[in-house]
């Protein structure tokens, strides 16, 4: 049940942060961040949704289609690219570039938070499964 609430939250934030990048398009282009990287970052933030959908759907009983490793791998491009662009924009030192870097930083942290949420659900699920087997 909590996975569905997190899914709605992640969908909202991914879309919102993706549109925030469009607002800072001029700052990115003036400081050497290509529009292809920004598009890739927008796409990877939307892939956070796919990662959580794969985790929230009841496919975990199928061994072949287990979404756990793939879900974590889908998060990595957004986190890595977000870190690189954010650190580049923070070093520029201009207010509008720092604001653009914060928007990218938010996408990176959303990916990290999604990964932590999925890992915590896995651990709690394993603990609960062990507790029910003991009874």
- pLDDT one-digit tens code per residue, 34-45: 999 999 999 999
d(CA 12, CA 119): 21
SS3 assignment, position 50: helix
The Cα-based distances of 110 to 82, 85, 95 in angstroms read 10, 15, 23
The CA distance from 111 to 26, in Å, is: 24
Q: Please say whether the beta carbons of 71 and 121 come within 8 A.
A: no
> Burial code of 115-129, b = ≥16 C-beta within 10 A, e = fewer?
bebbeebeeeeeeee
* Joined tokens for residue 65: 């289609």
Residues 6+ apart with CB under 8 A from 48: 10, 14, 74, 75, 78, 110, 111, 114
User: How confident is the prediction along the chain (135 residues), in pLDDT tens digits per residue?
Assistant: 666 787 788 889 999 999 989 999 888 988 888 999 999 999 999 888 888 777 766 554 545 445 556 778 889 999 999 999 999 888 887 888 888 899 999 999 999 998 898 888 878 878 888 777 766
Question: Under a CB-based contact definition with an 8 Å cutoff, are residues 110 and 60 in contact?
Answer: no
In terms of phi and psi (left: phi > 0; alpha: psi -120 to 50; beta: otherwise), the region of 32 is left
Distance between CA atoms of 126 and 72, rounded to whole angstroms?
A: 18
For residue 98, the enclosing domain spans: 2-134
Please tell me the total count of domains within the chain: 1
Q: What is the pLDDT of residue 1?
A: 63
């Amino acid at each position: 049940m909590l996975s569905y609430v997190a899914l709605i939250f992640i969908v909202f934030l991914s879309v919102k942060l993706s549109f925030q990048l469009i607002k800072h398009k001029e700052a990115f282009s003036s400081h050497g961040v290509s529009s292809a990287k920004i598009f890739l970052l927008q796409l990877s933030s939307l892939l956070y949704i796919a990662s959580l959908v794969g985790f929230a759907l009841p496919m975990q009983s199928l061994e072949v289609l287990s979404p756990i490793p793939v879900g974590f791998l889908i998060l990595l491009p957004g986190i890595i690219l977000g870190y690189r662009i954010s650190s580049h924009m923070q070093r520029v030192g201009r207010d509008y570039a720092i604001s653009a870097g914060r928007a990218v930083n938010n996408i990176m942290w959303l990916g990290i938070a999604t990964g932590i949420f999925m890992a915590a659900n896995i651990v709690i699920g394993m603990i609960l499964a062990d507790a029910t087997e003991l009874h």
